[in-house]
Amino acid sequence: MVSIIIPVYNVQDYLARCVGSVLTQTYTDLEIILVDDGSIDISGDICDEYALHDARVRVIHKENGGLSDARNAGLDVARGNYVAFIDADDYVHPSFVELLLKTINETGAQIAVSTWQELKDGDKPRKVKTKRPRCTILTQEEAISSIFYQKKLNHSACSRIFETQLFNNLRFPEGMLYEDLAIIYPLLCKVEKVALINTPMYYYMHRQGSIITTMSLRRTHVLDHIERIEEQVTDEAPQYLPAVRSRHLSACFNMLRLMPVDDPKWQATKERCWDYIKNMRFLCIKDSKVRLKNKIACLLSYFGVDFLIKIINNNRV
């Protein structure tokens, strides 16, 4: 059985599309865990309605605690051998579960990942071929390197199926953004293989006003997470340090690009990012695995932080 965990918070306009895409999966041995995270619209009622009509649907109603807390509540009751996470404003291809589970069974991987399509409201996903998708098998070391060098894999918990046992003694950090980044390294430390298929079967909806598109000081949580990971690999697995540093630099560049630099409350974050860039830019430029985007930004940083911010805010990097 596969447990599908869907955190739900004030998504009444999107929930039917999301849950409908799961109920119509070609693979049917599912439990669908809808975690109503204290919604104040009718999302909770919609969840209950689904549970009345399909025995595979289970509903948890809880006080609002955020995405991590909702996912953790789902993990605490999940009974499937495998687990997947879908955000309630996203949806999936009808063969999402079947194809990824087949990939796990055929390759012996503990995680199977599909690529995704990023859509806006009103967009229709492009048609994809689900027969004989190209599959790439990554070792643990290759998967960690790929994620932190930002190559074939990203750090999202969505668009993939995991062996549920990987989450034994592991939960998403509550009250923080970028929760997926926080757990990806300890998660991958438990696996031998990750299978990546080239078929985009997860439909990620880019919504204005969502948490990740709203700029607030909570966005600096990405820096907290990556600093912790860097400290961990420095002590335990220094072979991953160059890749983690590259991802750390990306977070710093992105923060400088997004922050309102004239706002005094962002001054400490600006200095935090700039100090790291100055300390690591030479190592980044020397590292052949670092993506070109980071190398260019590092070179531009030698002209000073204000020049760098001006250039990257013009979308030229």
Residues 238, 230 contacting (CB under 8 angstroms): no
Length of the chain: 317
Task: Write out the two tokens for 80.
Answer: 């499937």
**To the nearest 5 percent, what fractions of the chain are helix, strand and coil?**
50, 20, 35
pLDDT at 211: 53
Task: Write out the two tokens for 187.
Answer: 């998660």
Provide the Cα torsion 35, 38, 42, 47; round to 10°: 20
Taking the C-alpha atoms of residue 222 and residue 236, their distance in angstroms, rounded to an integer, is 21
pLDDT tens sequence for the chain (317 residues):
999 999 999 999 999 999 999 999 999 999 999 999 999 999 999 999 999 999 999 999 999 999 999 999 999 999 999 999 999 999 999 999 999 999 999 999 999 999 999 998 888 888 888 888 899 999 999 999 999 999 999 999 999 999 999 999 999 999 999 999 999 999 999 999 999 999 999 999 986 655 555 667 889 999 999 999 999 999 999 999 999 999 999 999 999 999 887 888 999 999 999 999 999 999 999 999 999 999 999 999 999 999 999 998 875 44
CB hemisphere CA count around 10 (13 angstroms): 9
**Could you identify the residue written with the tokens 């390294």?**
185
pLDDT at 261: 76
Taking the C-alpha atoms of residue 259 and residue 263, their distance in angstroms, rounded to an integer, is 8
Q: What is the pTM of this model?
A: 0.93
Task: List the one residue out of 172, 14, 153, 146 whose CA is nearest residue 83.
Answer: 172
Cβ atoms < 10 Å from Cβ of 80: 18
pLDDT at 212: 53
Task: List the one residue out of 155, 308, 317, 144 whose CA is nearest residue 242.
Answer: 144
Taking the C-alpha atoms of residue 201 and residue 118, their distance in angstroms, rounded to an integer, is 11
Q: Which DSSP helix (H) or strand (E) runs through 59?
A: strand 57-62
Name all domains of the chain by residue range, CATH numbers in brackets.
Answer: 2-211 (3.90.550.10), 215-313 (no CATH)
* SS3 call for 43: helix
Task: Write out the two tokens for 263.
Answer: 């706002």
